[in-house]
Amino acid sequence: MWETVMNDIDHLYEEMVHIRRHLHQHPELSFHETETAAYIAQYYEELGIPYETNIGKNGVLARLEGGKPGKTVALRADFDALPIQDEKDAPYKSTVPGVMHACGHDGHTAALLCLAKALQPYQEDIPGTVVFLHQYAEEITPGGAKPMIEAGALEGVDAVFGTHLWINTPVGTIETAPESFFAGADAFEIKIQGKGGHGAQPHQTKDAIVIGSELVTSLQQIVSRKLDPLSSAVVTVGTFEAGKAFNVIADTATLKGTVRTFNSHNQDLIIQEMEKHIKGVTATHDASYDFHYQKGYPPLVNHRKEADLVLQAAHATPGVEQANYVGPVMTGEDFSYYMLERPGAFYFTGAQKEGHVYPHHHPKFDFDERALPLSAKTLFQSYLAYQQQP
């Protein structure tokens, strides 16, 4: 029977593409995904599958209760977009200026919706309960996972699985990690207060640009000289804003960036060292500062047993050519909050588009839509594999 379900998922390929492209043309930013949430809810309404809306804020939760005894397993897909102008040449490019799906969340949603459609006719034969967990606001902290959990999204759930379309690997490839997979993702802001003045009289100023530039270089020494070389961490200054005129020395500068770590020890050490470097550099120039550090998503740590099940499920999925463990990545994911509450695993579904070299979060981002049915199949196979556990 499950082979029939796999075939039905393949038959829904055109519908997956249609849904994905519709969502791609009508993206919504994190915490503002009202129309997308309504679209998802309407889909379940038409399927006749019970659902709830406004979970946390814009979350949607649907439940397909099987006719046979079993466990309750949640399958998660996110659906928010990014503040990026879509620059690719495609008939389905975003119609919303400055907003686009540049990470594949539209595909995650399309795959999960069509998985629900494929399973609905076989409800009486399904063991346990499938929870279709549609999450808003993955891209921006504090994210949607935590408030959805606080609103009860995991009540009665035994395990959680999720996948991310990944354009770094070919279609037919499934990758996961046995434990640490995604880094914790923090943010910081440093405001430097110097003393402005005429560009021709620097000796009468405290140049915020010079101070900020020195600080950018100084911060890079934290990872290279304070952390164990066998540890992985990142300190990145992403924006540097200062000055308004070519002949005026800026009195203020604002630096914003991110820190990525895999454990609390390195996180705490980096915070302490950042404070030291900021204090030292600004004191040298007789300037003042304000330092704000925001702890973001915790590291995403898979549960080994469930990660093994993902690979087991992948090997049993038609169309999957390779399934293996990989090392952790420095990107962040609020799926980590689910892993703190329930057993489960997160994995990559290869979606590399031949001849397309643009990465995630790029204005020309796109993926191979043939990965959509594979993500749906492997999610359900993971569900079945978990049902077979004692």
**Other Cβ atoms closer than 10 A to 50:** 12
Longest dimension (CA), the chain: 81
Catalytic: 125?
Answer: no
Q: Distance between terminal CA atoms of the chain?
A: 22
Q: How many CA atoms lie within 13 A of 11 on its CB side?
A: 9
Structure tokens at 312: 């087991």
User: Degrees (nearest 5) of the Cα angle 319, 324, 330?
Assistant: 115
Q: What is the DSSP-derived secondary structure letter of residue 183?
A: -
Burial of residue 299 (CB within 10 Å: 0-12, 13-18, 19+) is buried
Catalytic: 290?
Answer: no
Could you identify the residue written with the tokens 């914790």?
Answer: 184
**Which residues, 6+ apart, have CB-to-CB distance to 230 below 8 Å?**
none
Q: What are phi and psi of 308, to 5 degrees?
A: -60, -40
Catalytic residue among 28, 33, 78, 80: 80
| Packing angle, helices 105-119 and 34-47, rounded to 10 | 10
Pair 35, 26: CB distance under 8 Å: yes
Q: What is the CA radius of gyration of the chain?
A: 23
Phi-psi region of 366 (alpha: psi -120 to 50; beta: other; left: phi over 0): beta
Pairing of strands 344-350, 159-166: parallel
Rounded Cα gap, residues 55 and 137, in angstroms = 12
Could you identify the residue written with the tokens 């689910």?
Answer: 338
Rounded Cα gap, residues 266 and 258, in angstroms = 14
Catalytic residue among 106, 138, 139, 186: 138
Query: Active-site residue numbers?
Result: 80, 138
